[in-house]
Amino acid sequence: MAGKTTHVLLDDVFLLVVILLVALALKVSGALDAAVLAVSGLSLVGAFVVGIFYTSIFTVGPATLILAEFAEHEPIVLVAGIAGLGAVLGDFLIFKLFRDRLGESLAAFMVRKFGKKKVELSKVNKVVLLCIGAGIIASPIPDEVGLALMGLSKVDTKLFIALAWVMNSLGILIIGILARAL
């Protein structure tokens, strides 16, 4: 079991490193920015696609600017809701990695390495992690940290999806309101 835990953890870390390197290469090459700008001409369908990019540290900047542009020309609430759905899709993929594989693999690795029993979070601590994570998702701060906190809280998938949509949509709505005000 110990060897399998280490192997799964190494697979997860390798996968994360590969994803980050590919995203960084796309960002540095300008290909990612070009792709995001290309979908910006697709109106509300583009808002959904750009919403997916709103969640990542590597794409949040251009996605925020494009969403602000959408909000200046389309109904703000509609842009926020549709882009929020796209953001949920991006968040869900990251969330599943943190909650279902990486978190469990890391916990098992720590138990094996340091001989400590798995620490269970109290319900209060889980709620605190969930609230902080949801707050980060609502902000223009990239969602990875918030998703990790929500994953550690072991939030139910249905509640996660609802919270992620509401918080992402709220954050995008605020961006749209600010874009129109400026």
Amino acid at 151: G
Cα–chain center distance at 132 = 14
Closest CA to 126 of 164, 171, 156: 156
Nearest-angstrom CA–CA distance, 37 and 59: 11
For the chain, the structural domain boundaries read 2-181
CA dihedral 52, 92, 59, 131 (to 10 degrees): 120
Residues counted in the chain: 182
Cα–chain center distance at 100 = 15
Read off the DSSP letter of residue 118: P
What does the block give as tokens for 95? 């969330």
- Other C-beta atoms closer than 10 Å to the C-beta of 102 total 21
Amino acid at 61: G
- Other C-beta atoms closer than 10 Å to the C-beta of 67 total 29
Place of tokens 């994360």: 16
Q: What is the pTM of this model?
A: 0.70
Which residues are CB-neighbours of 162 under 8 A, at least 6 positions away? none
Closest CA to 63 of 94, 86, 96, 81: 86
Specify the pLDDT at position 162.
94
Specify the pLDDT at position 105.
61
Give every residue of the chain whose pLDDT is below 50, as ranges. Answer: 1
